[in-house]
Structure 1
């Protein structure tokens, strides 16, 4: 409880302090709806043409461009073929994300490793010029066996594929394999609010077959998402259920919301509930936070359900255009009703967009685990990450 109190105090400091600038999302630029920049209305996945131009003209450093070059010229060069116009019915994209990490540096159990986290190729098709009906697809390459799935090592698989239909300005439909509608879709799939060590399926392999209705209005939006499990998940672990998420805009650049999810497989039942907030503090600056409860029931056993908690806060302090300080605090407890481990993680580092289509991260993480009557040595990790999108 003391750690949770510390996290709540930290959130409060971020919100009331005018000296703290943060932007882990674009709400600081006034873009409070993810559908402005992404084909998926809840964020994540491929960027649309506007999102590509925004990345080039508002997020990326101008250092490589002469002062005489106008922002419009930079934005017009953000397409897949640079300045060459693509056919209206087709948009491709390529994304790569690689991570080099060093665990417990200079320790007896030091680990050094390079991981290819993301190698995606997007093929997006549109059946009319206004993109009222679209087919969004992402193929990914795996260089290792993905546990508890049918994805084999050295294989290319269809990560996501769904049809998007715009019924009106206020209602969008999605059908196919896609990310579930829960919580804040931060890019770090190892974060506690993505439940990386569970089979609930919110991490990078958590896409699921389903349908989604997304209602979006100027000050609020809500998405309802029945899902039926991934085509790659082994049958006994395939989670089926429903997720609902929504946000309300209290005032400009400040949104609050919540999410619920109920699902089960032959082996496990999950119930999730969380609250979240996104606040823009000034142009290009914002803070995100999410906290909630997670209940896991192991079916076919005499074990009681485990009711755990999680909290995640991320801030980004702008140094100059294209360069930011990224800070994350994460907290989780497996069972708040019984004695169980309590995990706390602090991450501090640099997030930079030095060149068009590129992202660079360097961070230091400290992990703490608290057990009743026992202490565990802190874990440390140095990470360097490179992301290229085209």
Structure 2
């Protein structure tokens, strides 16, 4: 079998370009903010596809809608954010043209794998400072952080441990009151649901997580009242080397709002590398999928994603696989979330079998800018010598500045 025909690849990209560039109306992240009728991300985030620095409006909504309230709000102040909503809990005012932010996250993790003694680890997951600036039609965003270990693909220093990381940095030009943004730099790949669970198979198998999966390139994004999307030309990750390992190609998504609390979308990705990190040889890979976000009622949000995987290493037949995720998020009390997630993965390689995974999670936004989360994750992975079961318990504490 051969890789997808070049004409088919060009058709996929052309369709996504038309969908992303096809509308012209006013715009309106945690993907479960759809419960509050926020189907897009650009109103609350400097990055039009979500995540990173919050706008002033985003900070206000985070204070009003995310965290648990322990007392009744005085009459007449129902829609007013507290003074702690600002940067550094309101301790530092920033000029109108500058937005600052940051994130610190640590975790305790216990792993138990069939036939192997259990391990316990403390992980410093994130300590980043972020900035976003706007002047006239010009936009720029950047982050700089520190990691004790890990995050190799985002490192800007090259020590064995204790490195600086730069997850994203970009400059751009906005048009029509920020409906359109053209930018270039190191950015999150526009693909799938922009969720924080970066180890979900839908993120790791497609290499589109927001931990260290960013790539360099240029993109155009549109954020309309109903339609939003982004199409990116990927030129590789220049924080790794040598050049043979860099992936080049495209990534894009489009999403359409079905009313106030439902949205459906599609994603596409295709890259080439002279030496793929998984196969070690010249490889072309693709991923094409659908996604869904919706709230049957305000307390319950459903997130779903299903993606076909394609891999064509040089000298071998093309292999196909798939990955999927379905998550239910129940918020019985403001700021308190209980989640259940199911996932599947059939890797795009010869004779691979389907792996199954399940997550049970509790998440509490218990103070301004502070949340805690516990996950219990069980995964069953078939191997030629029998199934392997991996169980992970993860406890996280997170603060954003």
Matching of residue 159 in structure 1 with residue 159 in structure 2? no
Query: How much does 1:304 deviate?
Result: 2.0
Q: 2:193 aligns with which of 184, 196, 208?
A: 184
Matching of residue 370 in structure 1 with residue 378 in structure 2? no
Give the secondary-structure state (helix, strand or coil) at the position aligned to 1:312. strand
In structure 1, the residue matched to 2:400 is 389
Q: 1:56 aligns with which of 63, 66, 71?
A: 63
In the alignment, the residues of structure 2 paired with residue 355 and residue 163 of structure 1 have an alpha-carbon distance, to the nearest angstrom, of: 33
Moved more, 311-320 or 137-146: 137-146
In the alignment, the residues of structure 2 paired with residue 389 and residue 46 of structure 1 have an alpha-carbon distance, to the nearest angstrom, of: 10
In the alignment, the residues of structure 2 paired with residue 67 and residue 85 of structure 1 have an alpha-carbon distance, to the nearest angstrom, of: 24
CA displacement, residues 21-71 of structure 1 (integer Å, 9 cap, x when unaligned): xx85211100111111111111122211111111111110012x5643834
Matching of residue 312 in structure 1 with residue 321 in structure 2? no
Query: How much does 1:237 deviate?
Result: 1.1
Kindly report the root-mean-square deviation, in angstroms, between the aligned alpha carbons of the 2 structures.
Answer: 2.4
Is the Cα–Cα contact under 8 Å of residues 358 and 388 in structure 1 kept in the other structure?
A: yes
Q: What stretches of structure 1 of length at least 5 have no aligned partner? A: 1-22
Moved more, 72-81 or 169-178: 72-81
In structure 1, the residue matched to 2:351 is 339
Equivalence map 1:183-262=2 (5 Å) = 183-195=192-204, 200=207, 202-234=209-241, 235-262=243-270
Task: Classify 1:327/1:145 alpha carbon distance in 2 versus 1 (closer, same or farther; 3 Å).
Answer: closer
Equivalence map 1:44-83=2 (5 Å) = 44-63=51-70, 67-68=73-74, 70-83=77-90
Query: How much does 1:276 deviate?
Result: 0.5
Q: 1:173 aligns with which of 168, 178, 182?
A: 182
Q: 2:335 aligns with which of 322, 336, 350?
A: 322
Equivalence map 1:243-322=2 (5 Å) = 243-267=251-275, 268-283=283-298, 285-299=300-314, 302-322=315-335
Task: Classify 1:231/1:286 alpha carbon distance in 2 versus 1 (closer, same or farther; 3 Å).
Answer: same
Give the secondary-structure state (helix, strand or coil) at the position aligned to 2:394. strand
Is the Cα–Cα contact under 8 Å of residues 29 and 285 in structure 1 kept in the other structure?
A: no
CA displacement, residues 153-176 of structure 1 (integer Å, 9 cap, x when unaligned): 322232211123221143222221
In structure 2, the residue matched to 1:101 is 109
CA displacement, residues 309-336 of structure 1 (integer Å, 9 cap, x when unaligned): 0001111111211111011111000148
In the alignment, the residues of structure 2 paired with residue 150 and residue 37 of structure 1 have an alpha-carbon distance, to the nearest angstrom, of: 28
Is the Cα–Cα contact under 8 Å of residues 31 and 193 in structure 2 kept in the other structure?
A: no
Is the Cα–Cα contact under 8 Å of residues 24 and 314 in structure 1 kept in the other structure?
A: no
> Size of the alignment, in residue pairs?
358
In structure 1, the residue matched to 2:135 is 127
Give the secondary-structure state (helix, strand or coil) at the position aligned to 1:353. strand
Is the Cα–Cα contact under 8 Å of residues 162 and 174 in structure 1 kept in the other structure?
A: yes
Moved more, 237-246 or 374-383: 374-383
Please report the TM-score for the alignment, with normalisation by the length of structure 1: 0.85
Please report the TM-score for the alignment, with normalisation by the length of structure 2: 0.83
